[in-house]
Chain A
Amino acid sequence: MDGVHDLGGMHGMGPVEPEENEPVFHADWEKRMFAMNNAITAIGVRNIDESRHARERMNPGAYLTSSYYEIWLDGLVRVLCEKGLISEAELSGDVAPRPVSSPKPALKAADVDALMDKGGNYVAEKGKPPRFRVGSKVRTRNIHPSGHTRLPRYARGHVGEIVADYGLHVFPDASAEGKSDPQPLYNVRFASTELWGPDGTEGDFIYIDLWDDYLEAVDDAA
């Protein structure tokens, strides 16, 4: 979706403001929010792309004025409501919590380190054969899907070169809808001046991880 989250290249955001000796968390509620979002992953009710797509659909004005853990709060409530696990009425206390079941049991404290040390798996053994090779020139497609995508707006319709083939990976656009559609994931190198024209910098480059479906062949002879 052409959402507010897709920030690459936007003007008017002001300076970057690093904080000296920044703590890992700024308040208790941030800790709880961080932990809930990760603990929910363990029950197998939503994948990483569904989680991202939920956050992307936050009200755009609210997104820009919220801290990152506020965005996580909005996204987690949204996706759990959509999955039927909780409701706004339950959250506000207007109705009593209704019992639910989840694909996997709640995460136990004793299992936290093992689970986080293991992480997820986004690699697939079977999927679409690669259409491109390292060294291929490609053009990113000019697409504007209303659903989830990981092709940033600033990189659409531009020519780059494949510099790495990372192999078959779950396709986020499908994964956000509960499907998989595994296909090759590449790293693509774009000249700064290709993406930003005369406002780019000659000799600088932007490297972006892009899936096969985002790309089309460029005829070198043309």
Chain B
Amino acid sequence: MTSKHKHGDPLPETVLRVKSLESLLIEKGLVEADALDALIDRYENKVGPKNGAKVVARAWVDADFRKRLLADATLAVAEFGYSGAQGEELIALENTDDVHNVVVCTLCSCYPWPVLGLPPVWYKSEPYRARVVREPRKVLEEFGTSLPESTEIRVWDSTAETRYLVVPKRPVGTEGMSEEELADLVNRDSMIGTRLADTPAMVKEA
């Protein structure tokens, strides 16, 4: 698998074919260019992992919200105004000292859009989809995530329209931090389950 081609260095005929398809669909009245622009703007600028980070930070500081999130994540994230496509039936999975959850879609690219936006390339890639269900510990180690043998790993394969959001463990040494400050520690991958949340020191360095 040469990643160069797969990461946005397409064959010229691909670019041409996408253009031809758009022109054809517009000419036939099946899509409108303005609507395409609006869809792109929504997922490039409005809906992304910052949404999920706010949800996780709230769960860390507000025990009642945490309870609501774990009971019905669809309803709980709607409190922030997050809802809809690819997140109609959302379930939150909480990581603890004993259990670590990690999410995949082995069959395609299912991912909780309302809270995480669109998936990164690696999430949709063959290596991740092939390997994380069979050797999650090795895959997590490649992300720099080492877990004790005593931690139970749970891999969730998103085969239905259910979408899973991982609630990472709150890092130690974050007592007294505000909800906004905490949200900065919640990186995207920690909500997929391949990484832990950042520590305050990591955020300062970056």
Contacts and interface: CB of A to CB of B under 8 A. Distances in A.
B161 A73 contact: no
A113 B133 CA distance: 34
B32 interface: yes
Contact of B44 (A5, A24, A40, A90): A24
B50 to A, nearest CB: 12
A16 B22 contact: no
B36 interface: yes
B85 to A, nearest CB: 4
A136 B114 CA distance: 33
Interface stretch (B59-67, B137-145, B169-177, B196-204): B137-145
Interface in A102-146: 102, 106-113, 115-123
**Most chain A CB within a 10 A radius of its CB, from B5, B25, B37, B109:** B25
A66 B132 CA distance: 21
B106 A77 contact: no
A198 interface: no
A56 to B, nearest CB: 8
B154 interface: yes
B126 interface: yes
B16 to A, nearest CB: 9
Given A152-B157, A199-B134, A35 B30 contact: no
**Most chain A CB within a 10 A radius of its CB, from B29, B37, B107, B152:** B107
Contacts of B143: 16, 18
A204 interface: yes
Interface residues of B, number: 83
B205 interface: no
A104 B122 CA distance: 35
A70 interface: yes
B117 A64 contact: no
A5 B108 contact: yes
Contacts of B121: 19, 22, 26, 67-68
Contacts of A38: 39, 85
Interface in A55-77: 55, 64-68, 70, 73, 76-77
Interface string A7-21: 111110111111100
Nearest to A100: B28
A145 to B, nearest CB: 14
Interface string B4-48: 011110100011011111101101111110111111101110011
Contacts of A65: 1-2, 5-6
23 contacts: A8-B106, A16-B122, A16-B125, A16-B128, A24-B118, A25-B40, A31-B44, A36-B31, A48-B161, A67-B121, A73-B18, A77-B21, A97-B28, A107-B35, A109-B34, A117-B84, A118-B85, A119-B84, A152-B106, A152-B159, A154-B133, A204-B153, A205-B153
Interface of A: 5-11, 13-19, 22, 24-27, 29-36, 38-40, 42-43, 48, 52, 55, 64-68, 70, 73, 76-77, 85-86, 90-93, 97, 99-100, 102, 106-113, 115-123, 150-152, 154-155, 166, 169, 172, 185, 187, 195-196, 199-201, 203-211
Given A6-B107, A29-B19, 11 more contacts: A7-B129, A9-B133, A18-B143, A19-B122, A24-B43, A32-B22, A67-B121, A106-B32, A120-B85, A120-B161, A203-B149
